[in-house]
Structure 1
């Protein structure tokens, strides 16, 4: 049962990410997210990196209180959020934005589709007219672009 909770939360986080990215990060918290689009920050960190802290706090609280309650469902909800956050960091920051040069020349169609969809998202420098707000689920047109070319 606990594995199902972790998996379900991980999957649900994709929808939550889309909503948070579109309506919060491109909404009232654009002040933190803007430098991720216009590259106005100086140095290795962006104001956008504060979102890691913001999203980690509820996960940490769920892990802590769930562990205190003899590893209740709260713990496994927090674990699902944490695993999604780790996946987000590795795919978004390391793979897509190449904060570490890994898989930069991949020919994997799925990874190419993720990278292309994210590039479409970043072609808009302002907070309006965005597209591709998700993370691991990519619109079908990007899958077709790379899977049909093989």
Structure 2
């Protein structure tokens, strides 16, 4: 039982690195065409091309669920749930809390919340794919926390 809990938690934290890596080298790299509308809205739709990255990680999570279901990878459930939990957290923090795609969590004003918003604002000040900063979601440079 403890192994599954540890794998779940470890997967969740590894996903922060994966989000940072994917954001910096894939979204701001060769798949900028899908991410660009997140920095500079060039359409009238509520949906963004950037939302397709959600599908990528959802498929990976489902893949681990299937590996567990078909008894190919015993810890597949823990990994799949860790990826899912991070994706849900990403949606709640990034899309709802920061970008207010749904009008919830508007009054959160603790030091971490202010620092998180500030770091994300520093990321979005760059409209192009180059010269970006703060590519993670939950972790960011300490200077933003210190100045919050």
Q: TM-score, normalised by structure 1?
A: 0.93
Alignment of 1:58-77 (within 5 A): 58-69=60-71, 72-77=74-79
**Counterpart contact for 1:26–1:128, Cα < 8 Å:** yes
Q: CA deviation at 1:100?
A: 1.1
Tell me how many residue pairs correspond in the alignment: 146
**Counterpart contact for 1:121–1:132, Cα < 8 Å:** yes
> 2:49 maps to which residue?
47
* Local SS of the residue matching 1:125: coil
Structure 1 unaligned residues grouped into runs of 5+? none
**Counterpart contact for 1:113–1:142, Cα < 8 Å:** yes
Moved over 6 A (4+): none
**Counterpart contact for 2:96–2:105, Cα < 8 Å:** no
Q: CA deviation at 1:125?
A: 0.2
Q: TM-score, normalised by structure 2?
A: 0.94
> 1:134 maps to which residue?
136
Q: CA deviation at 1:83?
A: 0.5
Superposed CA offset, 1:18-67 (max 9, x none): 11100000000000000000011221100000111111101111112212
Return the match for 2:38 from 21, 36, 39. Answer: 36
> 2:98 maps to which residue?
96
Q: Distance in 2 between matches of 1:116 and 1:139?
A: 10
Return the match for 1:26 from 18, 25, 28. Answer: 28
Superposed CA offset, 1:117-145 (max 9, x none): 00100000000000000000121001101
Q: Distance in 1 between matches of 2:107 and 2:77?
A: 38
Report the aligned-residue RMSD: 1.2
